[in-house]
Amino acid sequence: MATKLRLPMVDLSSPDRLSTANSIRQACVDYGFFYLVNHGVDDQLLSSAFQQSAKFFTFPLNYKLSLSRKEYRGYTPLYSENLDPSSHSKELLPDWRPTMESLIWKLLEAGRKLMSLIALSLNLDDDFFEKTALNKPAAFLRLLHYPGELGSYEELCGASAHSDYGMITLLVTDGVPGLQICKEKFKQPRVWEDVSHVEGAFIVNIGDLMERWTNCIYRSTLHRVIPTGKERYSMAFFLDPPSDCVVECFESCCSESSPPRY
């Protein structure tokens, strides 16, 4: 049985930016995960997005396969490795596009504010990422549906153990459990801890790129989703720099005794 984990809480609206930045640093060093509250994304918008997502996943498989993923957009069937129905979906989901576009813009706004605080947490100017990584951000939203059937872990793992590739991920969940993290990814056997749901909070995690950028001071933590016997919906917003961004160790993250690893 996995133990319950209560992640650190970060308030995006706090006027004490330095204290918030210090809290983010501690969370990224210790866990690579934290809750983000007062993020500015309206509950009604999130509810509408979940409704649109649930409607899409109820469509027949043949229809969804007609929207198979191309260049990171489209339907990805279960057990294969975002969701952006093509124009002929307008009749079936007339509110899809305005809902998802509004959500993406709101998530991007929250991500920009968060990256400003992450910059401060690394002793950088608060506009560092705005100038280098967010001038042309690579951002996309992935809508996820996990079936509720129980079975062996090997057969029905919702998302196998992995770390995210990029800079940061903002995750919105519907409250159904299943997300677990493993803080020590190089130790065996792995110890998994359940991430509790906090109403109104996003779950934020650091990706591999940010781990390298910080010389492994901030951790990109292993996580997975296991079946719980109940359907689960979530929305993952991946915020990454443009492809021409130069990623090299921050001066504040290296020294003579700790030279750049990458």
* The pLDDT of residue 80 is above 80: no
**Whole-angstrom Cα distance, residue 128 to residue 134?**
9
Higher pLDDT, 27 or 159: 27
Hey, what long-range contacts does 95-104 have (CB within 8 A, 24 or more apart)? 95/48, 95/52, 96/52, 96/56, 99/45, 99/48, 99/49, 99/52, 100/49, 100/52, 100/141, 102/45, 103/41, 103/45, 103/46, 103/49, 103/141, 103/235, 104/139, 104/141, 104/237
Residue 106 has pLDDT above 80, yes or no: yes
Residue indicated by tokens 């997005």: 49
Mean pLDDT (the chain, rounded) = 90
Section 102-117 average pLDDT? 98
Residue 69 to residues 14, 95, 163, 215, 253, Cα–Cα distance (Å): 39, 21, 21, 34, 38
**pLDDT higher for 184 or 80?**
184
Beta strands at 3-5 and 193-195: parallel, antiparallel or unpaired = parallel
| pLDDT tens readout for residues 46-78 | 999 999 999 999 988 888 888 876 766 778 776
- Predicted pLDDT of residue 72: 66
Q: What is the pLDDT of residue 194?
A: 96
User: Which pLDDT does position 5 carry in this prediction?
Assistant: 85
The structure tokens 């196998």 sit at 160
pLDDT at 153: 47
pLDDT for the residue numbered 90 = 61
Q: HSE of 205 in the Cβ direction (CA atoms, 13 Å)?
A: 26
Global pTM value: 0.89
Please report the domains of the chain, with CATH numbers, ordered by start residue.
3-242 (2.60.120.330)
Convert the pLDDT of each residue in 134-189 to its tens digit. 999 999 999 999 987 776 444 445 578 999 999 999 999 999 999 999 999 888 99
81 pLDDT band, cuts 50/70/90, is very low
pLDDT of residue 79: 54
In the predicted structure, residue 231 carries a pLDDT above the cut 90: yes
SS3 category, 251: helix
